[in-house]
Structure 1
Amino acid sequence: MPNPEDAGQESTTRPARRWRRPRKQRPFWVELPILIVVALVLAFVFQQFFARVYTIPSGSMETTLHGYAGCYGDKILVDKITYDFTDPEAGDVVVFKGPEAWVGDEVTTTRSDNAVVHFLQDVGSVFGLAPPDERDFVKRIIATGGQTVQCCDDRNRVLVDGRPLDEPYIHWQDPARQWQDSFPPVRVPEGYVWVMGDNRNNSCDSRCEEQGPVPVDDLIGKARFIVLPPGRWGTVD
Structure 2
Amino acid sequence: MSDHAVPAPRRRAGWKFLRDLAIIVVAALLASFLVKSYLVRSFFIPSPSMENTLLIGDRVLVNELVPGVVPVQRGVVVVFQDPGGWLGPAQGEDLIKRVIGLPGDTVSCCDAQGRLSVNDHAVDESYVVLQPGSDRVARTDFSVTVPAGRLWVMGDNRYDSADSRMHGTVPVSDVVGRAFITTWPVSRWSVLSRHGEVWDAVPDP
| TM-score of the superposed pair, with normalisation by structure 2 | 0.75
| The one of 65, 75, 83 aligned to 1:99 | 83
SS in 2 for 1:201: helix
Unmatched tracts of structure 2, length 5 or more:
1-6, 16-24, 194-205
For 1:160, give the aligned amino acid.
V
Matched, 1:149 2:138: no
Task: Assess if the C-alpha contact under 8 Å between 1:148 and 1:161 holds in 2.
Answer: yes
- Superposition map of 1:91-170 within 5 A: 91-104=75-88, 109=91, 134-170=92-128
Deviation at 1:165, TM superposition (A): 0.8
CA deviation map 1:44-68 (0-9, x unaligned): 542221101111111100011111x
For 2:36, give the aligned amino acid.
Q
Task: Assess if the C-alpha contact under 8 Å between 2:66 and 2:176 holds in 1.
Answer: no
SS in 2 for 1:137: strand
Q: For this pair of structures, how many residues does the alignment match? A: 177
- Superposition map of 1:70-89 within 5 A: 73-89=57-73
For 1:194, give the aligned amino acid.
W
Match of 1:204 in 2: 162
| TM-score of the superposed pair, with normalisation by structure 1 | 0.66
CA deviation map 1:85-131 (0-9, x unaligned): 232111010000010142339xx55xxxxxxxxxxxxxxxxxxxxxx
Supply the distance in 1 between the matched residues of 2:35 and 2:86 (Cα, whole angstroms): 29
- Superposition map of 1:183-202 within 5 A: 183-202=141-160
- Superposition map of 1:50-61 within 5 A: 50-61=39-50
Match of 2:173 in 1: 217
| Residue identity (%) | 37
Supply the distance in 1 between the matched residues of 2:162 and 2:37 (Cα, whole angstroms): 27
Task: Assess if the C-alpha contact under 8 Å between 1:60 and 1:199 holds in 2.
Answer: yes
Supply the distance in 2 between the matched residues of 1:191 and 1:226 (Cα, whole angstroms): 28
CA 1:137–1:164 in structure 2 vs 1: closer, same or farther (change >3 Å)? same
Match of 1:234 in 2: 190
Match of 2:51 in 1: 62
Match of 2:20 in 1: none
Supply the distance in 2 between the matched residues of 1:184 and 1:214 (Cα, whole angstroms): 17
Unmatched tracts of structure 1, length 5 or more:
1-15, 24-34, 68-72, 110-133
For the aligned residue pairs, the C-alpha RMSD in angstroms reads: 3.0
Task: Assess if the C-alpha contact under 8 Å between 1:150 and 1:182 holds in 2.
Answer: no
Supply the distance in 2 between the matched residues of 1:207 and 1:143 (Cα, whole angstroms): 12
